[in-house]
Amino acid sequence: MASISYIEGMSRRLPPLNAIRAFEAAARHGSFTKAALELHVTQGAVSHQVKLLEQWLGILLFERFGHSLTLTSHGRSYLHALSEALDAVARATERLGAGVSAGPLRATVLPSFASKWLIPRLGKFHALHPEIDLHISTSTDLHNFSLNAFDIGIRSGLGRWAGLQADLIAHEALTPMLSPALAANQAMNQPVDLRGLTLLHDQPSDAWPRWLVMVGAMDVQATQGPSFSDAALVLQAAMDGHGVAMGRTFLAANDVSSGRLVQPFSQTLANDFSYWLVYPKSTAAKPRIDAFRSWLLAEATLSSTAVFKDL
């Protein structure tokens, strides 16, 4: 029988573990703010934990110059040692939970969210977690997680699903979008300039009428034009020059920033539905789900900040 050896009467002198996590994340990112996003706490909480650790150690780990954050020589040395230790803990945990967590992480995702937002960012997730194989199935139905077909889901709604944990990914706003070629052939100085153009529709079906009323362009025909069952399809139709879409700013951010779509007006209509990560509450602590959730929510926060800062 294997034996465990130890030194009787000797205990480990460990600093507060929350402070360790805060320091390691802040040092890795070079930012209290980015560390806070990763750990799902406030920037002030990270700063407090780091100061607590510095007081416990009796040394400075960071040099602070305004908003700039630089590791001291002690901080660099400590980070290196901690990174090795935390990596060892992560590997041991992964091995220990292999029987429970083995296999892919199975996600059911809205088709539009998968194609327009998630897939372009998957390289970042794989770089952080090469040990996790993510299997994505696109669907608009909320599957019964008790059947064990999926581990997590990404859905649009109000965040209320019985028996499921729902974490907010991002709010959404709606505004007209069209191709650069169509915009070049039609003056777009004010909403009434939409008069005579083909309007493209998806869900919610009343988005165009509500937006036009909001901006005072009630004489624009709001109900005619092609309709699509998927937000990515209506954006693609707009990019191909078939008309003007009521685009979703969060989903269309890459297309707008790359110039594939033009957003001519600043007025946006808040969408009642938001994007949510959903999963059974009983599985929230599983390492693979926790890793994906932490990455997804941090990435979505960065995207939302970029999209909505000027709205």
**What is the rounded distance in angstroms from the CA atom of residue 170 to the CA atom of residue 121?**
15
Half-sphere exposure of 223 (CA within 13 A, CB side): 0
Q: What is the pLDDT of residue 146?
A: 65
Q: What is the pLDDT of residue 3?
A: 38
- Superfamily, domain 173-270: Periplasmic binding protein-like II (3.40.190.10)
Residues in the chain, total = 311
Query: Topology of domain 17-96, per CATH?
Result: Arc Repressor Mutant, subunit A (1.10.10)
HEC secondary structure over 217-239? CCCCCCCCCCECCCHHHHHHHHH
Tell me the whole-structure pTM to 2 decimals. 0.65
Residue limits of CATH 3.40.190.10 in the chain: 102-169+273-308, 173-270
pLDDT in tens, 110-133: 999 999 999 999 999 999 999 899
Distances (CA, A) of 104 to 101, 135, 178, 208: 8, 6, 39, 41
Mean pLDDT of the chain: 87
Other CB atoms within 10 A of residue 36 CB: 22
Number of H helices, E strands in the chain: 12, 11
Q: What band does 143 get if pLDDT is binned at 50, 70 and 90?
A: low
| Strand-pair category, 152-157 with 105-109 | parallel
Q: What is the pLDDT of residue 261?
A: 97
pLDDT of 299 above 80:
yes
**Cβ-contact 288, 151 below 8 angstroms:** yes
**Residue 95: exposure state from Cβ atoms within 10 A (0-12, 13-18, ≥19):** exposed
Residue limits of CATH 1.10.10.10 in the chain: 17-96
Q: What mean pLDDT comes out for the span 55-59?
A: 92
pLDDT in tens, 219-270: 898 888 999 989 999 999 999 999 999 999 999 999 999 999 999 999 999 9
Contacts of 98 (CB under 8 A, 6+ apart): none
Architecture of domain 102-169+273-308 in this structure: 3-Layer(aba) Sandwich (3.40)
**What is the rounded distance in angstroms from the CA atom of residue 233 to the CA atom of residue 96?**
44
Amino acid, single-letter form, for residue 214: M
